[in-house]
A and B are shown apart, each in its own frame.
Chain A
């Protein structure tokens, strides 16, 4: 069992990511090393999924991890898990990079790629339990819900763009996104 289950607290004497972050906030370099080991794979994964370009993805991943180092004190356990906090930083930064650096041509190229169904984008992705669970839960969504989530979260599109891509009213996409995440939350057994 090499893949840590994010839903459970680590055992075997290892500190939870939350506790490690608290140490990082006090400048503890060993704790940052441990945090790196836990979050770098998912950070690089989601950043690469959104940005696509490997070199840029590595750059942004470095920025995200440094942001974790610099801003660890901002993490508040009452508002969610440490992993969700880091993933939020990573996703937002990836999306910001894609949107700010975007030229029309790049946008079109990405648009073509973003329409690849979730199942087929699994190249270079470590097969893990989490992936199977997420895939199964995505499978419980309606087509519109799933496409909205996939395009927005993995494709980095705004809901207006998603609406345009899918040919659906923006208001509809907006509510489908929320419904979809609520369903995913329940299906994945997210515990706060």
Chain B
């Protein structure tokens, strides 16, 4: 009966739709209906003004740190529409300074400045290469951010580009490990698991950024604790699982 009713009067779903209360199938069907029913679109728009007021009534004061994180993240996030305002081109080096804290979300700009400054020594060439690879992922047109909780503590954040087949990994709040152990990243796909890099010791509470490349279709990013030298296959329990 419900289906029959729904077919005859799909507009009765407008309320549930405006509140995101439809199952995915119903949602898709109703959205299809909306493309052919101007009156329904108009009604949904009006009901959404009402639901927006329900949302406004819950307003809270966001923590002040959130703003810095969001603004910094926006600076390094490409917009979906072409940007029409001509801006001076940034060097890769500078892009990283902006991009890295942004992607991390929770990382203060100062931290990354510290990290970048430490590169101003002998290892500049190597560091520069790494920075450029990281900047390339973060500024890729299809770059997407994801995050996951690490079992045992901490939050992992990644910026991934399918185009570049690579991701940049950062984490905050990972539990400290003894010197004999390190965190190891894994790419786990239909074809099995591949080591994707050892995580450096945290600096200022932040681990990374590190780059993992060679992504394949169906990969998951995982994390384990391994001997400091690393292993070829995971030997302990997975602490993180982010489908890529």
The answer to whether A binds B is yes
Q: Which residues of A line the B interface, CB within 8 A?
A: 3, 6, 25-29, 32-33, 36, 40-42, 44-46, 48-49, 55, 58-59, 61-63, 65-66, 69-74, 79-81, 83-84, 87-88, 90-92, 95, 124-126, 128, 130-131, 133-135, 149, 152-154, 156-160, 162, 170-171, 173-182, 184-185, 188, 190-192
13 inter-chain pairs at a CB distance below 8 angstroms, sorted by A residue, are A6-B52, A44-B60, A46-B54, A48-B60, A84-B49, A87-B48, A125-B59, A134-B56, A171-B5, A178-B12, A185-B49, A188-B53, A190-B49
Min CB distance B62 to A, Å, is 5
CB pair A174–B54 under 8 Å, yes or no, is no
B1 contacts chain A at the CB level, 8 A cutoff: yes
Q: Which residues of B line the A interface, CB within 8 A?
A: 1-2, 5, 12-16, 18-23, 41, 45-63, 66-67, 69-71, 73-75, 77-81, 83-85, 87, 105, 145, 147, 155
Residues of chain A with a CB closer than 8 A to B5's CB: 171
Classify the interface of chain A: helix, strand, loop or mixed. Answer: helix
CB pair A41–B59 under 8 Å, yes or no, is yes
Residue of chain B at shortest CB distance from A69 = B74
| A79-B59 contact given A171-B2, A178-B12, CB 8 Å threshold | no
Min CB distance A116 to B, Å, is 14
B79 in complex: contacting residue of A36, A46, A70, A131, CB < 8 Å: A70
A126 in complex: contacting residue of B45, B51, B61, CB < 8 Å: B61
Closest 3 CB pairs of A and B: A178-B15, A45-B58, A177-B15
CB pair A41–B79 under 8 Å, yes or no, is no
CB pair A61–B62 under 8 Å, yes or no, is yes
CB pair B62–A185 under 8 Å, yes or no, is no
Kindly state the separation between the CA atoms of A41 and B55 in the bound complex, as whole angstroms.
10
| A190-B46 contact given A32-B74, A73-B81, A181-B19, CB 8 Å threshold | yes
| A6-B56 contact given A26-B84, A177-B16, CB 8 Å threshold | yes
Q: Pick from B2, B47, B78, B84 the residue with the most CB of A within 10 Å.
A: B47
CB pair B19–A152 under 8 Å, yes or no, is yes
Kindly state the separation between the CA atoms of A185 and B49 in the bound complex, as whole angstroms.
7
Min CB distance A53 to B, Å, is 10
CB pair A88–B22 under 8 Å, yes or no, is no
Min CB distance A43 to B, Å, is 8
Residues of chain B with a CB closer than 8 A to A79's CB: 41, 45
Kindly state the separation between the CA atoms of A81 and B55 in the bound complex, as whole angstroms.
14
CB pair A125–B60 under 8 Å, yes or no, is yes
CB pair A42–B59 under 8 Å, yes or no, is yes
Kindly state the separation between the CA atoms of A173 and B69 in the bound complex, as whole angstroms.
40
CB pair B74–A46 under 8 Å, yes or no, is no
CB pair B70–A62 under 8 Å, yes or no, is yes
Residues of chain B with a CB closer than 8 A to A83's CB: 52, 56
Residues of chain B with a CB closer than 8 A to A92's CB: 20
CB pair A91–B20 under 8 Å, yes or no, is yes
CB pair A126–B15 under 8 Å, yes or no, is no
Min CB distance A190 to B, Å, is 4
| A58-B66 contact given A41-B60, A63-B145, CB 8 Å threshold | yes
Kindly state the separation between the CA atoms of A74 and B79 in the bound complex, as whole angstroms.
11
Q: A45-B57, A128-B57 are in contact. List 14 more A-B contacts (CB 8 A).
A: A25-B81, A26-B84, A36-B70, A45-B58, A63-B145, A65-B70, A66-B74, A84-B48, A84-B51, A126-B60, A175-B12, A184-B50, A188-B53, A190-B50
